[in-house]
Amino acid sequence: MRPLLLLPPAPEVLRVAIAPPAGRRKMAAAVAEEPEPELGGSVRRYLARLGALRPGPGAERPDSSRRTELHLLFDQLISESCGTAPAAGPSPQDVCALLVQACQLVHLDQEHLVSKVCQLIHHLLNRFQVLVDEQNLNFLLSYCISALKQCSSWTHVEIVQALAALVYNNGPKCQKHLPDLLGKAGLLVQLSDAAQPDMELRRAAVRSMANLCLSVPEQPYLDESYRSVCFETFLNVLQSSKTSDVDDITFCMLLQNALKGIQSLLNGGKMKLMQTDQIGSLLAVLKKCMFHGLPGLSIEMPAALYPVPLPQYDKRLPAKQEQSESATFKQTGNRRKKSKGKQKKGEFVEEGRDLGDAGNESALGADMMKLHFENVQKNPGSDPRSRASDVANVPAGKDHLSSRYPSWKRISSSESEYSDAEGGIQSKVRSYQANVRQGALACFLSAIKSIEKRVLYGYWSAFVPDAPGIGSPQSVSLMTIALKDPSPKTRACALQVLSAILEGSKQFLSVAEDVNDHKRAFTPFSVTIASSIRELHRCLLLALVAESSSQTLTQIVKCLANLVSNAPYSRLKPGLLTRVWNQIKPYICHKDVNVRVSSLTLLGAIVSIQVPLPEVQLLLQQPSSSGLSHSGSTTPHRSNSSEQWRKPLPSEGEPGDTPAGCTSPEPCWLLRLCVSIIVLPREDSCSDSDANFPLFSSVYEPCPLRLEALQVLALLVKGHFPMAQSYFLELGEVACRCMEEMDPSVQLHGAKLLEELGTGVLQQYKPDSAISPDQRVPVSTVVTFWTMMLNGPLPGTLQSSPHPTLQTSACDALSSILPEAFSRLKNDQQILCVTLLLGLNHSENPLVKAAAARALGVYILFSCLRQDVMFVADTANAILDSLHDKSPNVRAKAAWSLGNLTDTLIINMETMGQSFHEEFSDLLLLKMLRSATEASKDRDKVKSNAVRALGNVLHFLQPYHIANPRFREAIEESLQALISTVQSEATMKVRWNACYALGNVFKNPALPLGEAPWTAQAYSALSSVVKSCKNFKVRIKSAMALSVPSRRECYGSTEQFCHIWSALVVALQKSEDTEDFLEFKYSASLRTQICQALLHLLSLAKSTDLPLIWETITENRDAIKSYVLQYLKSGAEENEAGTHTDLGEREGVLRGAIEHLGGLEKQLQGKARVRVSVYLQDILTNHASAAELRGLETPLLVTNSLHF
């Protein structure tokens, strides 16, 4: 038993018992009678008193008297430091000076004073949140380490607590002391060992180690060896069991400190968990701690979990199972009453986490404009379920923490203070157990970020519920906590962890499938995952109904939104979304703003499911009264049975009941809801939490709610445009009203809605669109829409320079205008659009400049603008200016626009002829050529479009350009740039575009193809790529480029021609060789293109080429024959170029080659024994015989089936 160290006597007794020296009696009396008004002055006074106690050189005072006064001073300091922290504390320099001087006065053999000075270090640093500077830290750490080595064990707890306070957020400054603390025989390693009998000492050592693991921004972190030591220590602590001689609270605090240490390693050290045993051990102890002290539940966990797709081992203790079930029932029934009280003192709050943060990132206010649009029947002032327990809502966004010191450090200076006013020792134990569970969940959240998703999902069944088997209890999971934990904060933490697991799980969950009834001897993995998804829906909806805390309710809805965003509903039995939809509807009118915001987020996730589901479309068509009536019913009316979801809906091309662009009598209820939230004043006050948004609390809906409604509206337009197009002009008016407001965040989302409306129309008018013309939004309506925008707020928004993000979105919106509608705008409006974009292209903000450059690239393809030489020239100059910008994003957008601009040059060359060449500036063309050549050396995002532009410009050049000396050098440089790009190790997109560009170059008859030195280099590069490139699309494009020249002279010498021929033969034989399985699907297209190229070469061959061609055929006779037969047999096939070649055309090309080669062989008259035409004729004959045989087999099969 440790001696009692701190017994501060009353001041009156001290004045009588202690007789200070005559020189200091008056000072001490004055201090006692006139207390210092500020603590900073008090610290300086104590500092002066400590300085006066230093022994002088000649007059050293008796040691016993000095020791007595030190005891007095330390007792007074400790007593003062145990109160609440004042508003203005002492300076860090004063605190550090006082502690250093105190240590200098206390020798290590004076153990009672050592204990007190360590208590003083602990209390002062924690109370005033002081970070010790490096020089003083080294002294104080050395003092503590020496004290641990020399002093008796009864002092060690106070020494280690002082050590913990010193190293907090000072890890990088402790490097030279780490061997003493964390080495193989380090003090902290020894004191935190499981063999340590003193649990308080072990807890203090673990806490010191956890504080050492805290990261400091822009400072080096612990070395890997020390990290491993700490991780193993923390893991051992968490794996240990509580012994009978340890009280519950001490054990809980030990677990908390270990959990904080692991969390610091995962967060600050950016520790990546890679080893299976390491991951399994950590997840096992986290799962164990997640349920620590959970009422009515006790589980046994193995030492490690293993990544298997089957349910993990976890076993409820048999003796407690019945108690668990009864407690669960009782807990569910009594949750609402328990959650009304305030949060217990000392309850754990995770640092940096705001559990009710929905929409806070957009919490801005604005002046609202009322739009007389169809209102939505709702009662925002009351919760549809009328639960009185929701009054206990804690407003979201309230920060209970300081930026540097988390709450677990500030709970109390000694970690032992607690008020028993709320229910005695049991209440206190339950609170600490809840802290452990919250700490484990917070640590799990950090672990999720440190484990690769594909590895994490191997442990899916250990944490995510699955449907229980017949006669067996359901395994415990995160949903067990979300449904049964008495602490709303712990429930919210569990839901946060589940959300993190679900985030990004789309690929993993995509294997789920249960559309067909499973009747097999084993359960496929796809059915297991589907069962887990269904159980998740069931449990989350149960939690939704049972929850009374608004903060936790927000997390439930967010978790549902994450689940909906990642689940493959097209592969699951219908009805899941209907239940979610109907149960979330009442929460749109919840009294808490954050719940309403997250409910809209969930609805947005449903409507944005990529595969348009009939179930979602029917839900959108439900009457607005379904689930939103004033009765407040929690069971919305379901108008259709689950079988109806599988019935086919009218296709987008079928005529509807209302003409396009006209308003139907019963619009989509979600659309009406969102519009009413955005533009109409609210009817009455909804929530006390609206105090977070005071600017509009009396008139309009809170800003986060309006912004979320705008986002849902944009998603609705994007995913279900045929439904939204009936309100095309009305939605345009909503976007207008939003952009007219003063709040830039509302303006921004209004611009995004405008962009989605424009994009929806563009999709309808695409050449490959399946929507019939009479079901599209009429061009006249689109013209009216854009006229309203250009006469309204859009020009002003585009010029809103203080808000570059808003300008960027407005640029994107302006680029979504339908070309047919643009051509029908008034001339001044067209000029306005072009002028605005050309002006914004000179913006100093890179986001705005990039958006303007991209928009110009869209406009240059408009038929009404591309024939205007002046506009083309102005756009070219603007794009070239952006191509030299310092921002990579701007250069990438400019390169894309330059590619579009050069596409326009080719179109104009083909449609307008020589007149366009004469009007277009040669100087500008040369500038484009040089700029594109320079851009082809940039990063890949710029390079891919720069080489496309080079190919177009070189195709566009006329003979007088090529003869011009100023162009000659630029042409040579550009060709070398293309050839080097084809041969480079750039991304496949870049090389594909380079091959495409060379094919474009070969189309220009004015270039000296076959004669210039660069010709051989170009053919060599393409021949190499067609044989060996890993990407089959690049091989296809290189084979296409090799078949572009239309004359034999373009291929150069016989050796060069035959080299190309041989390369194509080798490429044909390697057309199935690939290491990437994904490339295999392109092998048929590759063979088709190579065969076309080979036949093209044969149809152009000269007599001098035949010997080498025959030699290659002789070496590869059978292989070539089989591939050509396969090519002929494949019939009509769409190749990579998008052209259609039917069977007759293929045979015709082969016959043409046979005739051409036959004529050449006759001219040779036996000079060379080459029979290429005979070989090809044999292939054609075999193909004809096989086709005839296939034709006979078909009726024979029919006849046999009839006889059978």
Question: pLDDT per residue over 934-968, tens digit each?
Answer: 999 999 999 999 999 999 999 999 999 999 989 99
Cα–Cα–Cα angle for 302, 305, 310, nearest 5°?
110
What are the C-alpha distances in Å from 532 to residues 9, 228, 514, 535, 891?
65, 36, 11, 5, 47
Between 597 and 274, whose confidence is greater? Answer: 597
Give the chain's end-to-end CA distance (angstroms, integer).
100
Across the range 598-611, mean pLDDT stands at 92
Each residue's pLDDT tens digit, 695-710: 444 477 899 999 999 9
Could you tell me which residues come within 8 angstroms of residue 344 by beta carbon, excluding any fewer than 6 positions away?
422, 427, 431
Q: What mean pLDDT comes out for the span 741-748?
A: 92
1127-1178 pLDDT tens trace? 888 753 443 444 445 557 888 888 888 888 888 877 766 555 668 888 888 8
Could you report the per-residue pLDDT of 193-237, keeping only the tens digit for each?
Answer: 988 889 999 999 999 999 999 988 888 888 888 989 999 999 999
Write down the mean pLDDT value for the chain: 79
Contact 1084, 1037 (CB under 8 A): no
Confidence of residue 8 (pLDDT cuts 50, 70, 90): very low
Record the tokens describing residue 1135, joined without a space. Answer: 């190749």
Residue 492 C-alpha from the chain's centroid:
21
More confident residue, 299 or 971: 971
What is the chain's Cα-based Rg?
A: 39
Q: Which two tokens stand for residue 72?
A: 């007095």
Global confidence as pTM:
0.77
Using the predicted structure, report yes or no on whether residue 989 has a pLDDT greater than 70: yes
Is 492 within 8 Å of 551 (Cβ atoms)?
Answer: yes
* Torsions phi, psi for 342 (to 5 deg): -70, 160
Closest CA to 676 of 700, 640, 642: 700
d(CA 580, CA 578): 5
In DSSP terms, 136 is beta-bridged to none
374-383, 609-618, 706-715: least confident range: 374-383
The pLDDT of residue 409 is: 35
Q: What is the mean pLDDT of residues 341-367?
A: 35
Residue 138 pLDDT greater than 70, yes or no: yes
Report strand pairing: 299-300 vs 315-316.
antiparallel
- Is beta strand 1140-1141 parallel, antiparallel or unpaired with respect to 299-300? unpaired
Three-class DSSP category at 241: coil
Q: In sequence order, what are the beta bridge partners of 1133?
A: 1141
CA distances for 306 relative to 281, 283, 316, 406, 651, angstroms: 9, 9, 19, 34, 48
Confidence of residue 692 (pLDDT cuts 50, 70, 90): low
Q: Are 164 and 207 in contact (CB under 8 A)?
A: yes
CA-nearest of 539, 537, 555 to 592 is: 555
Assign 89 a pLDDT band (cuts: 50, 70, 90).
confident
Contacts of the segment 916-924: beta carbons below 8 A, 24+ positions apart: 916/867, 916/869, 917/958, 919/869, 920/869, 920/872, 920/873, 921/873, 922/961, 922/964, 924/873, 924/876, 924/877
Q: In the numeric block, which tokens belong to residue 910?
A: 């083909």
In single-letter form, the type of residue at position 448 comes to I
- Torsion angles phi and psi, residue 503, rounded to 5: -65, 125
What is residue 1168's predicted lDDT score, i.e. its pLDDT?
Answer: 54
> SS3 for 836-850, per residue?
HHHHHCCCCCHHHHH
8 Å CB contact between 223 and 217: no
For 987, phi and psi rounded to 5 degrees?
Answer: -65, 160
Q: What average pLDDT does this structure show over 239-253?
A: 91
Phi, psi of 521 (to 5 degrees): -75, -20
Q: Give the Cβ contact number of residue 699 at 10 Å.
A: 11
Q: Name the pLDDT band for 40 (thresholds 50, 70, 90).
A: low
Q: Chain centroid to CA 414: how far?
A: 41
Residue 1003, number of CB atoms within 10 A of its CB: 16
Q: What pLDDT is stored for residue 1130 in this prediction?
A: 77
Q: How crowded is residue 1146: how many other Cβ atoms within 10 Å of its Cβ?
A: 23
Which residue from 269, 279, 268 is spatially nearest to 235, judged by alpha carbons? 279
Q: Of 14 and 710, which is predicted with more confidence?
A: 710
Rounded Cα distance between 1124 and 930, Å, is: 43
Residue 285 CB: number of other CB atoms within 10 A? 26
Q: Which helix (H) or strand (E) holds 1141?
A: strand 1140-1141
By the 8 A CB rule, do 1149 and 1131 touch?
no
Per-residue confidence band for 335, with pLDDT thresholds at 50, 70 and 90: very low
In this prediction, residues 146-160 reach a mean pLDDT of 93
Rounded to an integer, the average pLDDT of 1102-1122 is 86
**Cα(568)–Cα(526) distance, rounded to whole angstroms?**
11
Q: Which residues contact 128 (CB under 8 A, 6 or more apart)?
A: 85, 89, 90, 92, 95
Average pLDDT over residues 444-456: 90
Return the sign of the alpha-carbon dihedral for residues 1088, 1089, 1090, 1091.
positive
b/e per residue, 91-103, with b = 16+ CB within 10 A? Answer: ebebbbbbbbbbb
- Number of Cβ within 10 Å of residue 117's Cβ equals 28
Whether residue 65 is predicted with pLDDT greater than 50 in this model: the reply is yes
To the nearest 10°, report the CA torsion of 1136, 1137, 1143, 1149: -120
Centroid of chain to Cα 258: 30
pLDDT at residue 336 is higher than 70: no
| Burial track 1162-1187 (b if 16+ CB lie within 10 A, e otherwise) | eeeeeeeebbbbebbbebbeebeeee
Alpha-carbon distance of 1050 to 37, in angstroms, equals 97
CB distance 73 to 27 below 8 Å: no
pLDDT above 70 covers what percent of the chain?
A: 76
* Secondary structure class of 520 (helix, strand, coil): coil
- pLDDT band of residue 625 (cuts 50, 70, 90) is low
Give the contacts of 307 (CB within 8 A, at least 6 positions apart): 276, 279, 280, 455, 458, 459
pLDDT at 791: 94
User: Which residue matches tokens 């339950």?
Assistant: 430
Question: In the numeric block, which tokens belong to residue 150?
Answer: 């020399």
Mean pLDDT throughout 181-191? 91
Those residues with Cβ within 8 angstroms of residue 1157's Cβ, 6 or more apart along the chain or in another chain: 1098, 1101, 1106, 1172, 1173, 1176
